[in-house]
A and B are shown apart, each in its own frame.
Chain A
Amino acid sequence: MSATAPERAGAPATSGSSGTAARVAAALAGVPHTLVHPADGMVSLEIETAAVNEVMSRLRDRAGFDSNTFVTAVDRFPDEPRFIVLWQFLSTTHNDRVRVQTRVPGDAPHVPTITHLWIGTAYFERECYDMFGIRFDGHAGLKRLLMPDGYEHHPLRKDFPHQGIEPDRLYREWDNRRRERSPLRTESQT
């Protein structure tokens, strides 16, 4: 247990976003990517879906982004390509962030997994699959995270109503199954 020396107040050691952009550009030399400029000023890239593995491993190994912050998607229904899949990374050594996005068509959407680079993205990818139905190729245990197994819909898609679709169907099925198994079953119940 040790406490660090108090840092000089008012002097956070952030490298500015221009430094981040130059570092990311150097790490991604030769890989096609375009810079997008979001409102929050974060360095943000758009890449091809096929280049995901290449870009992510370079960001980790050459640009020093050692942790993932989230993996998620945005549904642009009814526009095509329908989904934008987003990754955001954090560098604890350089104290900056980068966001990477790729566009995925709405028909059987899938992107490569990055769980082999950051094992901690496993839950994020499961959640993204659960909520949007985007498959992560190569994910070792891609199954639903928040919704029950056997649920047929992906709730965060824009064509899914907020009230839900047949919200009690699974419960009715479970209840029927439980009643069938019950040793207390009587003639009148069947």
Chain B
Amino acid sequence: MSTGRSGTLSESMFEYEPGVVDRDDPLHGELMELNMGPQHPATHGVLRIKVLLDGETMVKVEPVVGYLHRGKEKTCESLGWRKFFVHTDRLDYLQPLMNNIAYAAAMEKLAGIQIPERGQTIRVLLMELSRIMAHLIYLGTTSIDLGAVTMFFFTFSERERIYTLLDAYTGHRMNNTYVRIGGVYADVEPDVERDIRAWLEQFPKKIDEFESMLTGNRIWYDRNRNIGTLTAEQCKAWCLTGPNLRASGVEWDLRKKQPYSGYEHYDFEVPIGEIGDCYDRYAVRIEEMRQSVRICVQALERLAKSRGGEFLADDRRYVLPPKDLVNTSMEELIHQFKIVTDMALPQGEAYHAVESSKGELGFYVVSDGTSHPVRCHIRAPGLVNVQAIPLLAEGRLFSDMVSIIGSLDFVMGEVDR
């Protein structure tokens, strides 16, 4: 961190009006400019926050994003529909499969592809495991920033177990890219199902353990309760979605309201908060993990019933034929060649959103009927969450900043794209 105004490192970071503090107040000291990030551990990635301090009170806060900008949308336009799949993993890298599914679903909506039931069930299972993974990271990083170091190890060891399960299924711990247009790449084997079930059985007890460390903890309570309070109206005007919106008492969950991937067949509850402070956002996410476990268990039951069923749509315009057929059939070889070299989507535009762990993750895709998109806009919930930092932080003590950043929950890979 470096001071700006009174130091010698740089000129003023801010353009602010002199009237921003009461100069006649005898208690106010000299304003200090503080540069938090972009390499600060509590900013959860390369986020820079410019803070103007009057004593310990934050007078003005301005997030600066873009340090991780890799031009994903431009990359999508030049790579084409199929090859961009691997790049979606690197958006919100804590839940790569969720991004895969959101992108695939937007293309499927545009092309009008129906997903087999088993494929949808596998997707639901993957999405809920991703949600648990992302919430575990939220919980671990937020609590280590607030001094609860043990929690970090608890949550990361649990997340590592999910990674092991995904490794068994996809062959990769992270950046799986296992979703395809029309379904998923491969079926879930029975032994993987068994491992997932075994993990799900013990995980609710772990959540109780997490809660026993934090929920009644005096320090955790004091540093989160009544800090960063958002009203429902503020959330909507600031375009916030997901757990941040639900913590403010709005019952809005795309899985319930605009179901996709067959979420209407699952029995689960949508937790909502009361006052919308950092503590409510924590409580909502804890409860969401429990509900995700419920959904995963139901998904496994459905998988057991549909064992041996199709998991990938049988549409040779978009879906690669099985390799053994390619080796023996001329038509299938032609299909494979066409898809690999030039998979075109029909002309038109489509938007599809999924309820990611951070909020509404949407892909708006525009096609001119060729293999390369005209536009692929990524509606990243993290960007909206970053935008709300000044709203919550200004006027509060600087130490609250860490709680606020943690509780809004964003990943810079997704914010900067």
- Which A residues contact B (CB, under 8 angstroms)? 1-7, 9-14, 38-40, 42, 66-70, 72, 74-76, 86, 88, 92, 95, 97, 99, 118-124, 127, 131, 144-148, 155-156, 160, 162
Contact = CB atoms under 8 A, between A and B. Distances in A.
21 contacts: A2-B271, A2-B272, A4-B251, A4-B270, A12-B257, A13-B257, A38-B349, A39-B346, A39-B348, A68-B239, A69-B379, A72-B375, A74-B375, A92-B236, A95-B257, A97-B351, A99-B351, A120-B240, A144-B66, A146-B417, A155-B71
Nearest to B68: A146
B238 interface: yes
Kindly list the 3 A-B residue pairs having the minimum CB-CB distance in the complex, ordered from nearest: A120-B239, A39-B348, A40-B350
> Would you call the interface of chain B mostly helix, strand, loop, or mixed?
mixed
Given A1-B274, A72-B377, A120 B349 contact: no
Given A1-B273, A120-B238, A146-B416, A40 B287 contact: no
A66 B290 CA distance: 30
Contact of B69 (A97, A119, A146): A146
A88 B264 CA distance: 24
Given A1-B271, A3-B269, A147-B69, A119 B238 contact: yes
Contact of A39 (B256, B264, B349): B349
Contact of A38 (B65, B257, B273, B348): B348
B283 A118 contact: no
B264 A148 contact: no
B377 A146 contact: no
Contact of B74 (A118, A121, A156): A156
Given A3-B287, A39-B346, A40-B351, A74 B257 contact: no
A6 B268 contact: yes
Nearest to B251: A4
B269 A6 contact: yes
Given A9-B267, A40-B349, A146 B73 contact: no
Contacts, number: 136
Contact of A123 (B350, B360, B383): B383
Contacts of A3: 269-272, 287
B399 interface: no
Contacts of B75: 162
Interface in B218-254: 236-241, 250-252
Nearest to A144: B66
Contacts of A38: 348-350
A146 B65 contact: yes
Most buried by A among B257, B283, B386: B257
Nearest to A117: B237
A69 B348 contact: no
A160 B238 CA distance: 32
Given A1-B274, A118-B239, A70 B375 contact: no
B257 A42 contact: no
B285 to A, nearest CB: 11
Contacts of B238: 118-120
B66 A148 contact: yes
Contacts of A162: 71, 74-75, 77-78
A88 B351 contact: yes
Given A40-B349, A69-B379, A120-B240, A12 B78 contact: no
Given A120-B239, A124-B239, A147-B69, 6 more contacts: A2-B271, A70-B377, A86-B364, A120-B388, A123-B386, A146-B65
Contact of A74 (B346, B352, B366): B366
Contact of A92 (B74, B252, B383): B252
Query: Which residue among B238, B240, B269 has the maximum number of chain A CB atoms within 10 Å of its CB?
Result: B238
Nearest to A91: B236
A4 B269 contact: yes
B346 A7 contact: no
B112 to A, nearest CB: 8
A9 B273 contact: no
Contacts of A74: 366, 374-375
A120 B351 contact: no
B259 interface: yes
Interface in B38-77: 65-66, 69, 71, 73-75, 77
B302 interface: no
